[in-house]
Amino acid sequence: MSAATAKSMPKHLLSVSDLDADLIRTLLDTAAQMQDVQRREVKKIPTLRGRTVINLFFEDSTRTRSSFEIAGKWMSADTINITGKGSSASKGESLRDTVRTIDAMGVDALVIRHSASGACHQVAGWIDAHVINAGDGTHEHPTQALLDAYTMQQRIGDLAGKHVVIVGDLTHSRVFRSNLLSLRMLGARITIVAPVTLMPSGIRSWAERDGFTVAHDLDAVLRDGDRVDALMMLRVQKERMTGGFFPTPREYTVGYGLTRPRLDRLTADHPGVVICHPGPMNRGLEISADAADSAESLILDQVSAGVAVRMSVLYHLLAGGDAERGEGGAA
């Protein structure tokens, strides 16, 4: 990317589209330094001392919330978790009032998860603090995409020219939407696979515009001779099974699950392939235990990288990033 079009680190991380390839690389480089902290006996650096980070989760989450909390604490930020059940509308308070109330306390950043797409974009327009999107509805989950890219890079190297196949409930997946953006920025080739009912609306024109491949037959994608470097299996949520998106879990698994036989063919035909899953997994549905626990699986590496990537994001957004403190300042 030329210097003329290069972006600077945004105030908020609402979408992967707030970044560009250079910024992603900067974030991932810092994450690598942060992983060193993670491996230390005393996991504490003073970088965010005196800063307050609120994890505002309107939707249940275990891994993302604890990952952000650990990231903040290891960097000496004061982190506080606030959980809101249901939508703010059901409580009678507007989302704007809720976040402005918290903002008025003088916090530095809000890490927000919300069941509504676009909620973080709206909040960013209402408050002074930094906003980090920890998952908004079926829209985006940018830190997940960053940690996915980080994990894959660690194992298979630069993603430019690599072929990543994404399989699962794409229509309801914010992980998919963010990964699509980041993987394209990093130069990967992308094929997405799902039954038509689990594809987002308008996927054909979208794919044409953004240059990725849409497929409905997983076996054909794995067989057709085009090398697969990474296979990303997405969660199929339980409620989709009753929503008529596909007839039965059994039928889904036969068509799209990473079953034992499919795993065997995958590893035989595509040596060096890696398997990702953002979790939580439905073992036996979209991914078999054999695949999840295989040597090709990066699933626990993804969780581990999650903390480092979120430390990097907090560092760059809150501490002013490398321009101010230099690359050594982080670790």
Partner 1 sequence: MSSVVVNDATVYAGQPASRGDSRDAVARDVVVVDGVITDLRASDAPGDAHVIDANGLVLLPGFVDLHTHLREPGREDAETICSGSQAAAVGGYTAILAMANTTPVTDTAEAAERILDLGRACGLVDVQPIGAVTRGLAGEQLAELGLMQRSRARVKVFSDDGHCVDDSRVMRRALEYVRSFGGVISQHSQDAALAGSGACCHEGEISGRLGLPGWPAAAESVIIARDVQLARHTGGRVHVAHVSTAEGVEVIRWAKAQGIAVTAEVTPHHLALTTEALTAYDPVFKVNPPLRPSEDVEAVRAALRDGTIDAVATDHAPHARHDKEHAFVDAAFGMLGLETALAVVADVMLGDDFGWSDIARVMSTAPAAIAGLEQHGRPIAPGEPANLVLIDPAAQRTINAATSRSLSRNNPWHGMTFTGAVHTTILRGRVTATEGAPASC
Which residues bind to partner 1, rule: CB under 8 A? 87-89, 94-97, 114-119, 121-122, 136-140, 171, 174, 177, 200-203, 205-206, 209
Q: Which residue is listed with tokens 């993804």?
A: 302
Of the pair 2, 242, the CB lying nearest partner 1 is at 242
Can you tell me the distance from the alpha carbon of 174 to that of 200, in angstroms, rounded to the nearest whole number?
Answer: 11
Handedness of CA 69, 279, 23, 136 (dihedral sign): negative
Of the pair 210, 226, the CB lying nearest partner 1 is at 210
Can you tell me the distance from the alpha carbon of 202 to that of 207, in angstroms, rounded to the nearest whole number?
Answer: 9
Least gap, CB of 69 to partner 1 (angstroms): 23
- Residue pair 149/183 in contact (Cβ under 8 Å)? The answer is yes
Of the pair 95, 166, the CB lying nearest partner 1 is at 95
Among residues 121, 117, 109, 42, the alpha carbon closest in space to that of 79 is found at 109
Least gap, CB of 283 to partner 1 (angstroms): 26
- As beta bridge partners, residue 131 has 110
Least gap, CB of 200 to partner 1 (angstroms): 3
Phi, then psi, of 274 in degrees rounded to 5: -120, 155
CB atoms within 10 A of CB 138: 19
Among residues 130, 94, 128, the alpha carbon closest in space to that of 112 is found at 130
Least gap, CB of 138 to partner 1 (angstroms): 4
Of the pair 39, 209, the CB lying nearest partner 1 is at 209
- Residue pair 216/195 in contact (Cβ under 8 Å)? The answer is yes
Least gap, CB of 101 to partner 1 (angstroms): 13
Of the pair 177, 310, the CB lying nearest partner 1 is at 177
Least gap, CB of 282 to partner 1 (angstroms): 21
Of the pair 73, 121, the CB lying nearest partner 1 is at 121
Least gap, CB of 98 to partner 1 (angstroms): 10
Can you tell me the distance from the alpha carbon of 16 to that of 19, in angstroms, rounded to the nearest whole number?
Answer: 6
3-state class (DSSP) for residue 130: strand
Of the pair 171, 259, the CB lying nearest partner 1 is at 171
